Structure 1
Amino acid sequence: MRLFGRKDEEDEAGRPGDGVAGFWAWWQEARPRLDPLVAAGAAEGIEELVAPAVEAIHPGLVWEVAPGRNAAHILVVTAAGDAELRSLAHRWARAAPPADLLWEFHPSRQANPQALELTLDVGGFEFALDKLVFGLRVPRDQPRVDVAAHHPIFSELDEETRLEAALLALDRLLGEDDVARWVGEITPATFQPIDAVAAVHLPAVIADLASGYQDEEWLMLEGRTGEGAPLAATARFPLRPVDHPLFDQHIEITLPYAHRDDDGLPAGESLTALRDYEERLTGLLLTLRDDALLAAHLSAAGQRVVHVYADPASDAATHARELIGSWEEGEPRVDVSSDPAWAAVSPFLS
């Protein structure tokens, strides 16, 4: 079931307005009407009741009621792949009341252990997930699987409907967040791919891929700025907003350095000072490990730019401003903005 709208409510810090709090106040009042509708399977009545309440949070959110894992039912309110809305959906879930026997709450579609028993109506055709097969390709040195999905009904559907059906099936098989983490290109195919594997094997393939990325890794990269100056960067790998959905505050720290080599990269005393600063920043982030993350830093043309992402409810930005107070090479700067899609580090996202 899809969803609908509210005016964009944000306070001065760029955080959601009272839409989330308003939803949960509504939920307490609406439960006596909603529970009988769900028990009766009255889809139209459920939509008429729930849709405006989710719309009041944000028009881009998508919702559904599904069988629960631990409770009878799940209410999912999800960004449905929209990185700009993911943190809002997670804040909605974080503000939820404790789960009870009837309801649990999630900010993304959950994997269904009985997914292969499902038959869905797609464009008037029966879409049985046990007839779905995949062609799989793992690009070299990439933490993703490219997927070509095929189902017998795909030849009867238009391209947009095929893609929507493939995405829905992947969400049911893996869970929406793991699709965002581990699935790359998705191609709905009208012919069965060579060496296709049955849908039942996909979770095991993804689990095997994920097992190779359990430890923290950093990549060292080289390139050039838009003006052509040499650039050196270090970035966390894999780097994905889905792993830190509440970290939608971007803290950009700019440190000018005085000592540089012929390429404009830090050298000598400046390199030592930058390493000392990085150690102090790393120590700070260790104390804020649930609230902030060092994503990447890059050096070029006499400046190092450090990218940190944080929960805006934390004190990470305040601490970052305090930390630059001891920098002695030029005027350091801390710029803070809302960046739920991590657009500032988009070249490093994996």
Structure 2
Amino acid sequence: MGIFRRRTTSRRATGKDPVAAFWQWWADDGEHLLTTATRAGDFDAYVDVVTRRVKAIARGLEWETRAGTDAEHALCVSSGGDPSLRPIAERWYRASPPPTRRWEFIPARSAKPDMLDSTITYRGRTFDLSRTRVHVATTPAGYGFIVSVHNPGFTGQWDDEYGLCVLLLEWLLGEDDVERWVRRIDCIAYDVVDSIPASELPDRVAALARSLPEPGWLLMQGTLGGGETILVRVLRPLRWIDHPRFDLHTALRASFEADAQGLPTPESSEALDGFEDALVRAMGTRGMLVAVETSKGIRTFHFYSDSEDQNGRDVLDSAAREHPTVSARHVLDPGWKKVQDFA
């Protein structure tokens, strides 16, 4: 059995929204073309056509067709594990028409655990996936796993085999759950004593998910290099994949009257809390506050929102315009790297 994956390699600049153009093509010709070709098993009839349409949306997006869950077929446009592309795949999905009896649409590869019963050809080599085993270690923070993947066919050629390791985990968990729960993936040429059959990994993930507390705020205190106190309040778990459209980071910095430690006076604290509450209410579902830093007379609010939603950004820019002690700085940050030190 061969693996068919198609990754696009360029982006075409046009005056029209490429996502809207894709769905217009789908309504005009695409659905009929893919339905006919997929039923006939005639892949050559549509591969290049669909690739060109997906390529026009963004470089690096991947796509595939598969059997649907509630429809006959599913069309998946995927980021291929690239955080910078996941918001684009999500926008493609949110712009899709309602599912029909024939077609449904997904923005990330769903799990296909039956693939672990297969023997496949990957980059010219044959692998019996049923013999795959994994070693699973919980990360120190307790919110994910380090997963080491072993198959007897592995030879230590990591450039070739790492891609297969990722595929195996995507088939077991689904693309988004790999991002959600797997912090690191290692390929190992030799099995280890406490490994488990790969098919047991979904149960391990489900058990961890059940054991975690409800999302909430964690308060931390530390000392900066100059001896100043820093307070950090952060949302846990801090996972961008749960909010894939929120790719714009805004650091909203508010200066305040500080005490000797650089922390807010009681009056300043009350004013800052009221300011935060008003911001969160104004943002609503357009964005979210994920972390707050306080030190040396500055409180920094870390917000994420959809970079294509100007209204969300405007809420924060308005706050900066209306308060002379407040400034806003925006930067694209899919994957939430700006706040990973707090994770």
Normalising by structure 2, what TM-score?
0.89
The one-letter amino acid of 2:123's match is G
Equivalent in the alignment of 1:310: 305
Identity of aligned residues (%): 32
Deviation at 1:302, TM superposition (A): 1.2
Superimposed CA distance per residue, residues 130-157 of structure 1 (whole angstroms, 9 cap, x where no aligned partner)? 22111111123331111111111112x6
Name the Cα RMSD after superposition: 2.5
Equivalent in the alignment of 2:335: 341
Q: How many angstroms apart in 1 are the aligned matches of 2:42 and 2:222?
A: 58
Deviation at 1:176, TM superposition (A): 0.5
Equivalent in the alignment of 1:3: 7
Equivalent in the alignment of 1:320: 316
Secondary structure at the aligned position of 1:297 is classed as strand
Superimposed CA distance per residue, residues 73-118 of structure 1 (whole angstroms, 9 cap, x where no aligned partner)? 2211111121111101100011111222222111111012533333
Distance 1:24 1:226, change over 3 A: farther
Equivalent in the alignment of 2:171: 172
Q: What does residue range 1-350 of structure 1 map to in structure 2 within 5 Å?
A: 1-7=5-11, 18-28=17-27, 29-155=29-155, 158-223=157-222, 229-258=228-257, 260-285=258-283, 288=284, 290-311=285-306, 312-313=308-309, 315-323=311-319, 331-349=325-343
* 8 Å CA contact retained: 2:13, 2:56: no
Q: How many angstroms apart in 1 are the aligned matches of 2:74 and 2:119?
A: 19
Normalising by structure 1, what TM-score?
0.87
Displacement over 6 Å in runs of 4+: none
Unaligned runs of 5+ in 1: 12-16
* 8 Å CA contact retained: 1:74, 1:105: yes
Distance 1:199 1:69, change over 3 A: same
Q: How many corresponding residue pairs?
A: 337
* 8 Å CA contact retained: 1:5, 1:52: no
Deviation at 1:161, TM superposition (A): 1.8
* 8 Å CA contact retained: 1:9, 1:18: no
Secondary structure at the aligned position of 1:294 is classed as strand
Secondary structure at the aligned position of 1:154 is classed as coil
Equivalent in the alignment of 1:14: none
The one-letter amino acid of 2:268's match is S
Secondary structure at the aligned position of 1:264 is classed as coil
Q: How many angstroms apart in 2 are the aligned matches of 1:4 and 1:232?
A: 44
Q: How many angstroms apart in 1 are the aligned matches of 2:79 and 2:131?
A: 28
Q: Which moved more, 1:2-11 or 1:182-191?
A: 2-11
Secondary structure at the aligned position of 2:153 is classed as helix
Unaligned runs of 5+ in 2: none
Q: How many angstroms apart in 2 are the aligned matches of 1:45 and 1:326?
A: 58
